[in-house]
Structure 1
Amino acid sequence: MTLRTSSPASSAQRVKGAGRRVRRGRRSRYRLAPFIFTVATAVLFGLFFLWPGVLGLSYSLTDFRGWGDSEFVGLSNYGDLFGDSEFYQSLGRTLLYALFAVPVGYCLALAMAVALTAQRARGKTAARIIFFVPWLVSPIVAGVIWRWMFGESFGFVNYIIRLLGGDAVPWATNADLSLFVAVLASAWGGAAFNMLLFIAAISNVPKSYYEAAELDGANGWQRFWYITLPGIAPTSVLVILLSSLTAMKEFAMIQALNGGGPGTQNRLIVQYIYETGFERSLIGYASAASMILLVILMIIAIIQLRISKRKNAW
């Protein structure tokens, strides 16, 4: 009986061949995984964003009321909408709300981030948890909480004012004061997420800049104005953009806080769309308002992105 022994050269070839097969298998998996994730993302985007948008656009060209057959009416819904005073009132109130809510939320989030990234700050972990809790609260719950706090006859704020000898403030019956409370509630609820973005951006600013500025005699405000703010400019643009889009689409918190009141004086554009579509059963008309809101949001995003590109070019 003869024994066959493999030569070192043949063994090395088999090892190399096995290594090539393993590498090819790994490369195929690495190529397949991105493809699967890309296809899944595209399917979800088309199912939950693209298709509803196309459906809304098609509804806006009809007199669909939520049931029965619909008739094609072309651009008549848009024509009626541009002559609707309630639509302009809701849109104007929404722009006013965003004009105040975005800066207040931006300043609050930035102040929290600066305080938590200060070298001499104590209790940072506990403070981050406390500051982040409002973001975990549902907008509806947040609206109810602020409604209880600023109630005219039962609110905690008016209770404190009465204890101090003052008169109750008409938080709910005065349109401007009611909008003021909504701005505070919005800033309180959204500041936590923006705070995390600012903390990450401030942490990426080189420490050597602050050390050099401190050696040159710059105080804390000068270091913040000339180093921190320019260093977090891209994040600032992102925060302003996201906050603007969120404010323009606000619904749940306002609905729970004041229901668009007093009356309809603080009814925002999404509330107008909701009431028109679901309470008055004018789905086609409400879809036309939604398309106009979509265009406005796209314009806001494009303007802010162009401003960001110009600042980066400078």
Structure 2
Amino acid sequence: MAVTTARTERRRRGRVAAAFLLPAFVLFVLFFVAPAGLGLAYSFTDYRGYGVPEFVGLANYLDLFSDSTFYRSLWRTVLYTAVSVPFGYFVTLLISALLVSRETKGSALAQVIFFFPWLISPIVTGVVWRWMFGENFGLINYLVSSAGLSPLQWASDPNLALVVVILAGSWGGTAFSMLLFMAAMRNIPASYLEAASLDGAGPVTRFVRVVWPLLRPTSFLVILLGTIGAMKEFAMIQALNGGGPGTSNVLIVQYIYKTGFEQSKIGYASAASMVLMVILLVIALIQTRFDRSDLS
């Protein structure tokens, strides 16, 4: 009798769990699985957004892998990710440590200020930074000129334009990573820090030897999400400089957008999207593997 009751209870709980998971599953299928399947199907066709698509096999992928523009956009995306993710990680980690510290004055106001970028869209972020770093009208060049220096070519120099993109992207992603780090730091038992203080460790030593190692799971999440977000960056860069000057800073998602919507090569752009998806999956798997090996 007791076994039957236990089985009935497990089945009931399973049905309740399935009922709660069903909406998420339906949304996942509608907005991820179905578009991904449609994009995969289009990648083997010459679809241009109108008419009946014709099957072309691997022609889109062969053309893609021989396209120098694709490789340039992919390289620029890798460079942007390799610089922006570590930079954003350490800046956010430092800000979070300062805001959590009891010795910091005005931390509540500072949290609101650093949280503000999360409240605005990436497009607004791009517009704000575009006005700040305008060559002829920007605030930064005004301050540089006021100091008696020559204005910098923020929009016409490819490397300086990439620097602005990295700064804007890091500024926009600070809030979410900051929340993760601050929550993790506040969950660290105070006894660990007290024991380190009794051993004579200063604030910096306590952070490096005690706090930072305990933030490894959070660090992994921040780096993983930051890497995927940087590889998919589009709206902010489009509003900031459109991938300019020229096409020097066109990232992979902008390349897909320009190819698919401006040149009406939906099939070709779908092939590029599939390649990007594979790259993101590989990155996620590699990072997960390294994280598991560190924990074991």
The 5 Å alignment of 1:12-31 reads: 31=14
Q: Distance in 2 between matches of 1:300 and 1:283?
A: 25
User: Is 1:254–2:237 an aligned residue pair?
Assistant: yes
1:20 alignment counterpart: none
The CA deviation at 1:33 is 3.2
Q: Distance in 2 between matches of 1:186 and 1:38?
A: 33
1:32-71: CA deviations, max 9, x gaps?
A: 4322121221111111000100000000000000000111
Pick aligned residue for 2:260 from 251, 260, 277: 277
1:80 alignment counterpart: 63
* Percent of pairs with identical residues: 56
User: Is 1:69–2:61 an aligned residue pair?
Assistant: no
The CA deviation at 1:125 is 2.0
2:201 alignment counterpart: 218
Q: Distance in 1 between matches of 2:62 and 2:156?
A: 33
Aligned AA (2:167)? L
2:3 alignment counterpart: none
5+ long unaligned stretches in structure 1: 1-24
Q: Distance in 2 between matches of 1:139 and 1:220?
A: 36
The 5 Å alignment of 1:20-169 reads: 31-169=14-152
Q: Distance in 1 between matches of 2:60 and 2:147?
A: 54
The CA deviation at 1:87 is 0.2
Aligned AA (1:110)? L
Q: Distance in 2 between matches of 1:26 and 1:61?
A: 49
- Identify if the C-alpha distance between structure 1 residues 28 and 308 changes in structure 2 by more than 3 Å, giving closer, same or farther: closer
Count of aligned pairs:
291
2:246 alignment counterpart: 263
Q: Distance in 2 between matches of 1:175 and 1:159?
A: 20
1:251-302: CA deviations, max 9, x gaps?
A: 0000000100000000000000000000000000000000000000001100
Aligned AA (1:34)? A
Q: Distance in 1 between matches of 2:138 and 2:186?
A: 40
TM-score between both structures, scaled by the size of structure 1: 0.90
Pick aligned residue for 2:219 from 236, 240, 246: 236
1:136-183: CA deviations, max 9, x gaps?
A: 111001100000000001110000111111101000000000000000
Structure having the higher Rg = 1
Q: Distance in 1 between matches of 2:27 and 2:147?
A: 56
1:16 alignment counterpart: none
Q: Distance in 1 between matches of 2:10 and 2:256?
A: 50
Q: SS at the partner of 2:54?
A: coil
Q: Distance in 2 between matches of 1:255 and 1:261?
A: 9
Q: Cα RMSD between the aligned structures?
A: 1.7
The CA deviation at 1:26 is 9.8
The CA deviation at 1:27 is 8.8
